Amino acid sequence: MTKKAIISPFVFTLVMMFLYMPLIILVIYSFNDSKTMAWSGFSFRWYQELFTNSGSLWRSFGNSVIVALGSATLSSVIGTLGAIGIYWYNFKFKKILQIATFLPLILPEIIIGVSLLIFFAKVNDLLSLVGIHFPLSLFTVFLAHTTFNLPFVLLIVMARLEEFDFTIIEAAYDLGAREIDTLFKVVLPIASPGIISGFLMAVTLSLEDFVITFFVAGPGSSTLPLHVYSMIRFGVSPVINALSVLIIAVTILLAFSTKNIYKYIISK
C-alpha cells in the first residue's frame, strides 16, 4: 500500500470528524438529564420540555419556518424567471445587471441589514403621509430574506442552465409546441434540479439568518435565531439541543428525498 493510499483515508476521517463531531455531540447531549455539560444520565427530559412548556420557542420557530418557506418560494419563482431571462436573451446592460444581481453575495450581511432598515423606515415615512403604516414586522423580515436569497437561487439556476441543450427547444418548436408549453414542459423540468437546490439553499439561509433579521424584525416577529440570542442572557436551555436534533432529522430526510423528487419531476 502506497503512502498516498494510507494518508488519504486518514485525512478523510479527520475532515469528517471535524464536520460531524459537533452534531454528534449535540445529539448525545440532547438526551443528557443535566443542564450542564456534565453527563448525569440518559433522559428524554428536554424533549418532553420542548413539547409541553416551550410555547415562545415554538412561536419563534413557526415564524422562522413561515418566513423561510415564503421567502424561498418567492425567491425561487423570481430567481428562475430571472435566470431564464438573463441566460436566454441578449439585451443592453446585461453584464451590469448580472453584477448588480450578484452583489449581495459578497456584501457583508450587516451592510444589507442596515440598508434594508433605512429603506423600510423611508417607505414607512412616505406611506404615513397618506395614512398607511408600514412598521417592522414579520412581513419586513420576509421581504428582507427574499432580497438576500434571490442571488443564490439565481446563481444556482443559471449554473444548471449552462448545461442546457438548446436543440431540445428547437425540436419542441418543430413539433408545434408553443413558447408557454416549451417553458413548462421542457425548460422547467430540465432546470428543476437547480430550482429545487436553490429553494433548499434559500430555506437554509433563511432559517439560520440572524444579522439581517436583527435589523428588520419588529415586536412580536422574533425568529428562532433571535429567540436563542435573547436566551443567552439567562443561559441557553438544553431544550434548544432537542429542537436542533429534530431539525437535523428533518434535514436528513429532505436530503435523502431530494433525489427522488428530481426523478419524479423529470418523469412527469
The pLDDT, as a whole number, for residue 242 is 85
- 69-85 tens-digit pLDDT: 999 999 999 999 988 88
Residues 6+ apart with CB under 8 A from 227: 56, 57, 60, 61
Pairwise CA distance, residues 7 & 84, whole Å: 45
Query: Phi and psi dihedrals of 30, rounded to 5?
Result: -70, -15
Average pLDDT over residues 121-146: 92
Report angle CA 66, 69, 73 to the nearest 5 degrees. 135
Pairwise CA distance, residues 107 & 103, whole Å: 6
Average pLDDT over residues 162-177: 76
For the chain, what is the HEC assignment?
CCHHHHHHHHHHHHHHHHHHHHHHHHHHHCCECCCCCCCCCECCHHHHHHHHCCHHHHHHHHHHHHHHHHHHHHHHHHHHHHHHHHHHCCCCCHHHHHHHHHHHHCCCHHHHHHHHHHHHHHHHHHHHCCCCCCCCCHHHHHHHHHHHHHHHHHHHHHHHHCCCCCHHHHHHHHCCCCHHHHHHHHHHHHHHHHHHHHHHHHHHHHHHCCHHHHHHCCCCCCCHHHHHHHHHHHCCCCHHHHHHHHHHHHHHHHHHHHHHHHHHHHHC
Pairwise CA distance, residues 51 & 47, whole Å: 6
pLDDT bracket for residue 252 (50, 70, 90): confident
- 17-66 tens-digit pLDDT: 888 888 888 888 888 888 777 778 888 888 888 888 777 888 988 999 99
All domains of the chain in start order, with CATH: 55-267 (1.10.3720.10)
22 vs 142, residue with greater confidence: 142
- Please give the model's pTM, rounded to 2 decimal places: 0.81
**Cβ atoms within 10 Å of 250's Cβ, excluding its own:** 10
The answer to which of 60-74, 213-227, 243-257 has the lowest mean pLDDT is 243-257
Please name the residue that has the C-alpha cell 417607505: 123
C-alpha cell at 68: 423561510
